[in-house]
Structure 1
Amino acid sequence: MDLGLKGLRAVVTGGTKGIGRAIAETLAAEGADVAICARNKDDVEQTVAALKSKGVNATGGAVDVADGPALAAWVADAAAEFGGIDIAVSNVSALAIGTDDESWKRGFDIDMMGTVHLVNACMPHLEKSKAPSIVTISSVSGREIDFAAGPYGAFKAALIHYTQGLAFQLAGKGIRANSVSPGNTYFEGGVWNQIKDGNPELYATALALNPTGRMGTPQEMANATVFLASPAASFITGTNLVVDGALTRGVQF
């Protein structure tokens, strides 16, 4: 299937590792120009070089998405370099699971407002696009209570609500908005890799919950995200796509 992404222009936050990196690479492999941001400058530069090797335009910036003005400036730079923006993918999370005030603040500033600020900064460009799309990365922790109940789960649930609101509000402008809710996703250096090494009992418990007997991969999450972002999903908006290998049991109507 041709996803129709060739020549489109995408921005991806948290695009240097894990799911975000896989999303950026998959967009580039499909012919889209890609701008990525993350906090580590060296990681950004290495990722941009890898994206350019796929034959597309790529750019990046060292940005903390909790800094709204810096995020808006990065979006403006990417739009200027590419001549516009067609796709916005909000992927960054604080991964805050503590119950202290600072954890709640980080979750709000990064997960929630990082997404809101990205969408607001991209909106003038999306309104001019012929194939505009927003995809937010939520989590299965946003639709059921698990060990991440607290800031992480609460704000992931809020992202789904926010995104579906965008879909309704922006449908008349032809701008689609969807969310993807990954299940447990394993990759080297990722949170589940750290849990496997640091808390093998929790890792074994989490692994046993999935009837497939394994966790997902960043590429599997990227495949779903890139499809939703693409013109091939032109009549899909306001959906939350759960990609969890039957981990969650709640029926989604």
Structure 2
Amino acid sequence: MDLQFTGRTALVTGGSRGIGRAVVEALAAEGATVAFCARTADGVRAAEEEMRAAGHDVHGTAVDIADGDALGGWVRSCAETHGGIDAVVANVSALAIPSTEENWAATFQTDMLGTVRLVEAALPSLEASDAGAIVTISSVSGREIDFAAGPYGTFKGAIVHYTQGLAHQLAGRVRANTVSPGNVYFAGGVWESIEANDPDLYAHALGLNPTGRMARPEEIARAVTFLASPAATFISGTNLVVDGALTRGVQL
């Protein structure tokens, strides 16, 4: 299937590692020019060099998503440099799970406001595109109550609600969808850390999935790439759960 990304520009936040990096690579492999950001300059530079060496047209910038002015400036700069924006993927998370006031504030600033500010800054360009698309990254923790039911799960649920609202408000102009991954394992990621530091929690989480494993970042990225693509013309307002049948609730 031709996803029709050739000649188009996509933006990805948190694109230097994990799911975000896999999304950048998947979009670029489909022919898109991809601008991505992450907080750590060294990580951005290393990821950019590796992906360019693989032949991808990618452009990395160090941006703190919690800094609204910096995020908006990056989006506007990308639109000017690349002649517009056709798709944005809001991927960054503070990954703040324990229920402390500090974590509630961090998750609101990064997960929630980071998503809202990305969309607001990109919206003029997305509306000018003939295939404008928004994809937000939530989590199965936003769909059911699990060990991350505090700030992380609450705001992941709010992101789904926000995206559904965008789909309705922007219908016929810009599509908006969510991808909700289950547990995703990658080197340097949260589940690798949990495996090393809390093996009981890791074993419990692994045992909940009937596939007997966690997802790989590229498996999430394929879902994101399709929903962001012009090939998904009539898909808007959906929450695509990619969890290997981990969750048991019926999504009506």
Give percent identity, aligned residues only.
63
What SS does structure 2 have at the residue aligned with 1:127? helix
Corresponding position: 1:224 with 2:239? no
Task: For residue 52 of structure 1, report the CA deviation from its aligned partner.
Answer: 2.9
Q: Does 1:182 align with 2:181?
A: yes
Q: How does 1:32-181 map to 2 (within 5 A)?
A: 32-173=32-173, 175-181=174-180
Amino acid at match of 1:109: Q
SS state of the match for residue 176, structure 2? Answer: strand
* Residues 25, 56 of structure 2: 8 Å contact kept: no
- Output the TM-score relative to the length of structure 1: 0.98
Contact preservation (8 Å) 1:180, 1:243: yes
Deviation per CA, 1:175-212, whole angstroms, max 9, x where unpaired?
Answer: 00000000000001100000000000000000000000
In 2, distance between residues paired with 1:81 and 1:40?
Answer: 22
**2:30 is aligned with 1:30:** yes
Contact conserved, 1:29 with 1:54, CA < 8 A, in 2?
A: no
Letter in 1 for 2:244: G
Give 3-state SS (helix, strand or coil) of 1:88's partner: strand
Letter in 2 for 1:118: L
Structure 2 residues not aligned, in runs of 5+:
none
The code of the aligned residue for 1:244 comes to D
Contact 1:5 1:230 in 2 (8 A): yes
For residues 168-247 of structure 1, the aligned pairs below 5 Å read 168-173=168-173, 175-247=174-246
Map of 1:19 onto structure 2: 19
Q: How many residues align?
A: 252
- 1:57-99 CA-to-partner distances (Å, cap 9, x unmatched) read 3222111101000000111111111111000000000011121
Offset of residue 48 of structure 1 = 2.0
Q: Residue type of the partner of 1:180? A: V
Distance 1:56 1:196 in 2: 32
Provide the rounded CA distance (Å) in 2 between the counterparts of 1:232 and 1:216: 24
In structure 1, list runs of 5 or more residues that go unmatched. Answer: none
Q: Secondary structure at the match of 1:246?
A: coil
Counterparts of 1:124 and 1:45, CA distance in 2: 28
Distance 2:172 2:242 in 1: 28
Q: CA deviation at 1:56?
A: 4.8
Q: Which moved more, 1:46-55 or 1:239-248?
A: 46-55
Contact 1:11–1:87 (8 Å) recurs in 2: yes
Contact map agreement 1:11 1:36 (CA 8 A) in 2: yes
* SS of equivalent residue, structure 1 residue 172: coil
Aligned equivalents of 2:186 and 2:130: distance in 1?
A: 35
- Give the TM-score taking structure 2 as reference length: 0.98
